[in-house]
Structure 1
Amino acid sequence: MDFMKLASERFSVRDFSDRPIEKEKLDIIKEAARIAPTAKNNQPQVVYVLKSEEALKKVRENTRCAFNAPVVFAICIDEAKQWRQPFSGEFSGNIDGAIVATHMMLAAESVGLGSCFVCYFDPYKFKEAFELPEGITPVALLPVGYKSDLCQPAERHFLRNSIEDFVTEL
């Protein structure tokens, strides 16, 4: 599948089937996380694959946006490895985490799986529930699985600005 077709056909899945995900497909998604670009190639990403009943229960207690996915990836960053922008002083961790998650979402779509980028969770409660090490900060959750038979894109998925609305050539 070419990139533009892949990117345009992917949508946020909020209704998953209970069909198990093959290990090979999970491995492809993990590899996409590994090769994702990050600021200065510092690679601060730390990814947790949450698929046990206990882990999924903890996720569902922290967000309503797990959508009964059989697997939820928690994309975190190691604060000690994130790059600091020398002019603004801002850290790259959230951006790096979003880039990693985007690669994972597109990889999932490429192997026939759906996903949804989720920021609607309490990172402090999540960190506590999973006893994440000091300096490891959750950035996003990525529920992944096979789309249910009834799954459709949300109406707002099709609302797109024209290129002229957001691109300026100078």
Structure 2
Amino acid sequence: MEFLHLVEDRYSVRSFSDHPVEQEKIDQILKVGQFAPTAVNYQPQKIYVLKSKEALQKIRSLTRFVYDAPVVLMLCADQTKVWKSPVEKGYDTGEMDVSIVCTYMMLEAWELGIGSVWVRGFDSRQVKELFDLPENIKPICLLPIGYPGKEAAPYTPWHDTFRPLKEIVKEL
């Protein structure tokens, strides 16, 4: 698929079919996340694949925003691997790097016919506690994935509405 068409076509899927996602497709999505650019190529992402009944029940107990997806990718930043700015005290690129990884995986999923929705509607402290994550692992976002259900459609009527470039771009 041509890249521009892919990003124009993609939408956040909030209704998933019960068709399981094939392991080879999950592996391909994860491989694309491995190749995503990160600051200094430190690759601070730590990705947990939630697909067991127990893991899915846990995450569903913390947020309704996983929409009964058959697989949820829990993307975290390993704080021991993030790039830390020598210029701005306290700034690191963990959240940014993981967001880039998530975007790459989201687009690869769509290319494979698999829907997804980027989710941040959870309390990271609760996720950390419930999944017994190590101290250095910081939950950043969730990416529920699965085949779109029959009711799947863009969530808002303004899905295809964009501000003009002249409003969002300024040349200096």
TM-score by length of 1: 0.97
Q: What's the CA shift string for 1:39-88, capped at 9, x where partnerless?
A: 11110000000000100001101111010000000000100110012222
**Structure number having the greater helix percentage:** 1
Paired-residue identity, %: 46
Gaps of 5+ in 2: none
**Runs of 4+ with deviation above 6 angstroms:** none
Q: Which residue type is aligned with residue 25 of structure 1?
A: K
Work out the CA distance in 2 between the residues paired with 1:42 and 1:153. 35
Work out the CA distance in 1 between the residues paired with 2:70 and 2:32. 19
Superposition pairs for residues 25-40 of structure 1, below 5 Å? Answer: 25-40=25-40
Q: Any idea what SS the aligned residue of 2:159 has?
A: helix
Q: Which residue type is aligned with residue 77 of structure 1?
A: A
C-alpha RMSD of matched pairs (Å)? 0.8
Q: CA deviation at 1:9?
A: 0.7
Work out the CA distance in 1 between the residues paired with 2:11 and 2:167. 22
Q: Any idea what SS the aligned residue of 2:40 has?
A: helix
Aligned length: 170
TM-score by length of 2: 0.96
Work out the CA distance in 2 between the residues paired with 1:129 and 1:123. 10
Q: What's the CA shift string for 1:115-164, capped at 9, x where partnerless?
A: 00001111100011111111001100000000001111012422321111
Superposition pairs for residues 12-27 of structure 1, below 5 Å? Answer: 12-27=12-27
